[in-house]
Structure 1
Amino acid sequence: MNSDNVTQGEQQTDTTTTARADEAITPFRITVPQGELDDLRERIHRARWPREVPGQGWSRGVPVGYLRELAAHWADTYDWRAWEARLNAYPQFTTTIDGQNIHFLHIRSARADALPLILTHGWPGSVVEFLDLVEPLSRDFHLVVPSIPGFGFSGPVDEAGWGTERVAGAWARLMRRLGYTRYGAQGGDFGSGISRALALIAPDEVVALHVNGGTTYPSATEDDPTLTERERARVRRMNEFMGEAGGYLAIQSTRPQTLAYGLTDSPVGQLGWIIDKFRDMTDLAKELPHEAIDRDVLLTHATLYWLTATAGSSAALYYEDARSWGEQRRSEVPLAVAQFTVQDIALRRDEEKLNNLVRWTDHDRGGHFAAMEAPDLLLQDIREFFADYGA
């Protein structure tokens, strides 16, 4: 793929663009050349497969048999054009903020008085995370769903420094550019941190903040006698995850460029890397990733990363945040936290210290990617919370 053509879309001049050319909002439509899809299919068919120690299951990573079957479906059965059409069913745009291309969906509600709501995805996700929520949420909200710089059709970043706070600053400017000066924010995974940072940057504009998964890591140890059993299970889960599956954090926080060579050159490598994390972070009651998240949804995420060559630039978000990590400031914007099983590890006490926590809900179904695993529960949670803020 030509790295100079990462958006894979058609753009036209918008007759309603702002006066300044660098603030133009340009309609965008995804049109991936067939040659790119043919190349992807051929690369999958030519993949060199590693050997593995028999009988290890998932203990050493994604089993060869599982990935071979998933890759075969990707090459021979999966229909990118159907997903391309599904994304193109919603108005999409690009604009330039702080020198960076920003891609976003913008769906205006039929309700003139609807509350604007900006939804932010995480890693290894994309705007596809929210596809099951767009239609029902747009009944009550004007939706803005951007691709994080370095992800998907926002394309690889062109300079260093695109960490959580800078992304949040870009979101504040995007919302103002769209004419929204009073709005809500929602997100999970990186989306929760970016949404919280947005509330700190624009506290007079963000009326309320909803996150799934929380905005903090547990400060307590597993033997803390003040923990409830559910809290203890969450601390235990965090420790298990970091001990068994947290290696990707170290790699992406230190060597995202080195990782990018393999993932950008091998679709099977890209698929294996993100499938491993989807399996580790989804509902523990589900044995396999596609039992928690539809198989074609997983493959749509992988296809977006592949077509836009954003394996390295998306991983670099970890690199940037690792270098800006510090003491968090308290946010006074009203916050709702929705926790989905013990795969979400935040503790209420930690959230209350740093945030104006006004709602806390625990769900016994779903996992870290609630928008895809339990969209019905997340939808209800969002609607109930923002009803108090004009939605």
Structure 2
Amino acid sequence: MPTDLVGPVDVGPVAHGGHCVARHEGRVIFVRHTLPGERVMIEITDRSHDRFWRGDAVQVIEPAAGRVTPPCPIAGPGLCGGCDFQHVDLATQRDLKRRVVAEQLERLAGLTWDGVVEPVGDGDGLGWRTRMRYHAVHDQHGGTGRVGLRAHRSDRVIELPPDGCRIAAPPLRVPPPVPEDELVGVAAGDQVVWAGGDHPAGTVRERAVSREFTVAVGGFWQAHAAAPRVLADAVLDGLAPEAGETAFDLYCGVGLFAAALYDRGCAVTGVEGNKPAVELARRNLADAGSRVRFVAGSVDRVLDRPARRGGLADRTDLIVLDPPRTGAGRKAITGLARRRPRAIAYVACDPAALARDLGYLAKEGFQLKSLRAFDLFPMTHHIECVAILHP
């Protein structure tokens, strides 16, 4: 038997990151392309850590309920790294994500959550991704003119099948020729814009919360077409803003949540570290006048800055924060908690970072009132949550 193949191994619970936990001869192995309860043969892909290995399930001896044939021919061991769960039916995917969120909240924040992962739309989990990044396939002689996506934890590019990426929105499924490195594509309404090589970077117009937003092609906007509406509705439902209240929109991007709060009658201050995004946010809410302002800078530093030096007010009624995958962190949590808002909405794309920050908020005197989880990234392990906290 090859030295990189181990098993048969009984697969344990799902873990955060798109893999399951297995044990073989006392060694923990994080295994992709499997399901809890399966018996598999594992090809070890990474032995660089003392405490654990990584591997792929390359042979399924005893399959679990919920296993299906992946709809994409490049979804599987050693192939495209974009989709973790194409071998799993949608209902089971959502149950796996539910287990991950609950486990992270319990382990990192001491919180019990018995919610569900809510589906968005009634589709088959394909064709939802409106933002794609493709790469050129190279061989020893240079570029080949072929197009692909990167393998898991690798710079290696896996060539697309002839009919393209299954989770990409149809206009982005098969890209035009990719330049030497990469090509970014965005589908926004009737617009399809490509950036890279002979395609100059530009902006697109996105519509959400009864407004249009100008967004840089390479800038941040949710990849699922329904996500801005779903998340904005969840934030507004949780916060129940009232006309005349003040609000902070932290990590505000181009102003989605600021716009939703402004349209409910709030005066809003947005903070964002990406200066081009701040400029777009100001353009997107130019009609708001003095009731909305945007500050460019690191959120934790702006929260520490006195108001007289361009910082934020010492008090506010509402706070929305939508940090990057790494979370807000202790310093930012301390700074926003000091404003003693009556409610906080935390929009999170990483359940581990969310749980850590909820633990910090608990120490600052804030209690979790509700948490909703949305399946905005079908076929992958990613999930979006909206947590509502009160003092």
TM over 0.5: no
Scaled by the length of structure 1, the TM-score of the pair is 0.30
Higher strand proportion: 2
Structure with the larger RCO, 1 or 2 (CA within 8 Å, 6+ apart): 1
Q: Which has the larger radius of gyration?
A: 2
Scaled by the length of structure 2, the TM-score of the pair is 0.30
Higher helix proportion: 1
